[in-house]
Structure 1
Amino acid sequence: MAKVVALVVAAGRGSRLGPGMPKQYRLLGGRPVLRHTLGAFAAHPSVDAVLTVIHADDRGLYDEAAAGLALPDPVIGGAERQDSVRLGLEAAAALSPDVVLVHDGARPFVEAGLVDRVIAALDGHPGAIPALPVADTLKRGRDGVIVETVPRDGLWRAQTPQGFRFADILDAHRKAAGQVLTDDGAVLEAAGGTVALVPGAEANVKITTMDDLARAERLFDRPLEPRSGTGFDVHRFADHGDGVHLCGVLVPHSCRLEGHSDADVGLHALTDAILGAIGAADIGRHFPPTDARWKGADSAVFLAHAARLVEARGGRIVNVDVTLICERPKVGPFRAAMRARVAEILGIAADRVNVKGTTTERLGFTGRGEGIAAQAAATVLLPALY
């Protein structure tokens, strides 16, 4: 499977929005516009990494917008958008992507299906952009009067993310340095590359003016819709140890659990349940066991990341339920501490968390004391716009 990097361009000043902070950091639904954008890509199951290009003066604002999303350090952009994209592409080379998706940071409502269409089109073309056909009659004006009616046949309104085979677009941007082109599709066209059109989405608006921001804010007045997900995980016992991590609590036991991280089977199952509820693949996609960064890691990091993805998309967690399946150790004496710890990680009330233990009546691998299994369910509310 191709390695996909999303390059979010957020270095602009947004002067058309009026005085104040840049538009990508204005609040939308109580969160920075950029946080919605980053959350959408960080949650997408086909996106391996999200790299952001920012203005040199905006690092503090960016850190606030990206908090908890486990993203690479941002790249400092250039004087023009084209410069910023090129600098972002040069930095992205260290991630060895096959495909790059270049997206405007001020387009916070990008849908997963749109991203899928762009990626799929790259199987047959070096570039692909989402676009909508022009529906309105077009007029060319001069000095306040119409001088021409422009035929709209074959005209499209370009959107982002614009997707490219990485080597092709990096080479094209290097060749185009110093030119002024309107978007990245034009950069690839100038280098002789073919750019495919895929259906865009009306909801995928770019926030440019205060009216745009006001219309976007009204989208958050829609009712939240429930989403649910489930998770399951298993870890085997090692030969010896002094305890096992279960739902964020170290429970005394004669064995430990084997795993790349701290092997907290309960938190792993719950992380997958939350990721499932928002269509964000699974824990292995976000925290690969082949990555040395997560060796021995506290699984609270994984669960907190899943919770931040929900929050970044304007949603909230309603309740979670975890079942730990084992003969030993006994879960009951630690249930209250587990509920409290899970609630703390997720930032929700403890009465929205349930943890229970059961056995398999000495059947199967858990019955033989070879390991522990866990299953989990989660319900979240997301804005209907997603």
Structure 2
Amino acid sequence: MTSIALIVAAGKGIRTGLDTPKQYIEIAGKSVLRRSIEAFLAHPGIDNVCVVIGEKGSPHYNDAVSGLDLLPPVIGGATRQESVRNGLESLIDLAPEFVLIHDAARPFVSEALISRCLEKLATSDAVLPCLPMTDSLKSFDGERITGALNRDKIVAAQTPQCFAFNPILAAHRAFAGENMTDDTALADRAGIEVAMVTGETENFKITTVDDIDRARAMITRNLTDVRTGFGFDVHAFETGESVWLGGVNIPHDKGLKGHSDADVALHALTDALLGSIGAGDIGTHFPPSDAQWRGAASDRFLRHAGDLISDKGGQINHVDLTIICEAPRIGPHRAAMQERIADILGLEKERVSIKGTTTEKLGFTGRSEGIAAQAIATVRLPE
């Protein structure tokens, strides 16, 4: 028995008014699409996940699914119905018994909802999660109300819309080009009886900017375990012409000595993030004895720490970094460091603080023998 989740992410998602399609918008450090994918990957009843993407969506898609074990993506069509059919056709060789077709823009689909759908599929060829209507429903013509609808006989459809694979593939082939509103409408046209399970209010579809704010609030309200991590690092100067600090290459009359690129600022910040989740230090994850990390760019270390927090369902709230040295001067490069760190961690720039200070000529930094950095990170995790 094989169940495959087919996630439809081929739309342009322009109703948010943002430059990025809604499925690739990051909310609390993770894209909408990735959240949808991970919900199905985490479910024991789902064997594979396949994503249907737009023709121009590959760069966004590759970033969104980095590190996830998925079937190859499928290029969608001009309509949602064409995109779903393309996805179904790509699964033929895998011969799944069931397929769960889900909108990428519904990132809060729960394990319980997926389980209800799978259980119902055991006795049905088609399953639709639905919500009852609570508002009074009216018909209208222009600006005039023309009548009332019986809300007790109407439900709101959600996804995943779930099917026995062969019948829904046959329906898509039989009615290709008719541009039905959704897959259960097409199933109904093909004479496939659609069973209903209870949907969830949290499983809403992100469409507008207000929906993005709602999604962010939902994520944040559950992150009640507030952690603080501290990081400190030192690197000595050596012969060179520049130093890496905060992910920025700064011309200098010396370099920094280290196994990687010796970015002391990013190393301290990485340790702070790792400390906030009790995940050891940078050497635990990237041992200096391992040759593969020789000369490595430290943004890889920092991104890894950020990903570990995301994997725990957490969110980085704020990072505060202090760089201690006589030279080079930090001020002229502060904005570039702030922007680079924000980019690596997927944060707003306002959540990244960069400060530079000296030790008034005292100690090894005062003698210009090296650079020190200390960092504090505040992280929110689910209880």
3-state SS of paired residue (1:35) = helix
2:60 aligned with 1:66, yes or no? no
- Which one-letter code corresponds to 2:202 in the other structure? A
Q: Bigger radius of gyration, 1 or 2?
A: 2
| Structure 1 contact 36–312 (Cα < 8 Å) conserved | no
3-state SS of paired residue (2:131) = strand
Deviation at 1:125, TM superposition (A): 1.1
| Residue 51 of structure 2: aligned partner | 52
Distance 2:166 2:307 in 1: 32
| Structure 1 contact 220–383 (Cα < 8 Å) conserved | no
Superposition RMSD on alpha carbons, in Å?
A: 2.5
State how 1:43-192 maps to structure 2 within 5 Å. 43-192=42-191
Task: Sort the Cα spacing of 1:29 and 1:174 in 2 relative to 1 into closer, same or farther, 3 A.
Answer: same
Deviation at 1:312, TM superposition (A): 5.3
- Which one-letter code corresponds to 1:7 in the other structure? L
Summarize deviations over 1:324-356 as a string: whole Å, max 9, x none: xxxxxxxxxxxxxxxxxxxxxxx9xxxxxxxxx
Distance 2:311 2:150 in 1: 41
Contiguous gaps of at least 5 residues in structure 1 = 227-304, 317-346, 348-380
Task: Sort the Cα spacing of 1:310 and 1:87 in 2 relative to 1 into closer, same or farther, 3 A.
Answer: farther
What TM-score does the superposition give when structure 1 sets the normalisation length? 0.60
3-state SS of paired residue (1:178) = coil
- Between Structure 1 and Structure 2, how many residues are aligned? 244
| Structure 1 contact 42–309 (Cα < 8 Å) conserved | no
Distance 1:190 1:382 in 2: 46
Task: Sort the Cα spacing of 1:7 and 1:313 in 2 relative to 1 into closer, same or farther, 3 A.
Answer: farther
Distance 1:126 1:225 in 2: 41
| Structure 2 contact 126–161 (Cα < 8 Å) conserved | yes
State how 1:11-22 maps to structure 2 within 5 Å. 11-22=10-21
Task: Sort the Cα spacing of 1:45 and 1:153 in 2 relative to 1 into closer, same or farther, 3 A.
Answer: same
Task: Sort the Cα spacing of 1:90 and 1:137 in 2 relative to 1 into closer, same or farther, 3 A.
Answer: same
Deviation at 1:90, TM superposition (A): 0.3
| Residue 201 of structure 2: aligned partner | 202
| Residue 372 of structure 2: aligned partner | none
3-state SS of paired residue (1:103) = strand
Contiguous gaps of at least 5 residues in structure 2 = 226-303, 316-344, 346-379
Deviation at 1:74, TM superposition (A): 0.4
| Structure 2 contact 29–310 (Cα < 8 Å) conserved | no
- Which one-letter code corresponds to 1:159 in the other structure? Q
| Residue 41 of structure 1: aligned partner | 40
| Structure 2 contact 126–184 (Cα < 8 Å) conserved | yes
Deviation at 1:382, TM superposition (A): 5.7
Summarize deviations over 1:135-187 as a string: whole Å, max 9, x none: 11001122212111112122110000011000011011111101021111111
Deviation at 1:81, TM superposition (A): 0.1
- Which one-letter code corresponds to 1:63 in the other structure? N
Task: Sort the Cα spacing of 1:313 and 1:60 in 2 relative to 1 into closer, same or farther, 3 A.
Answer: farther
3-state SS of paired residue (1:56) = coil
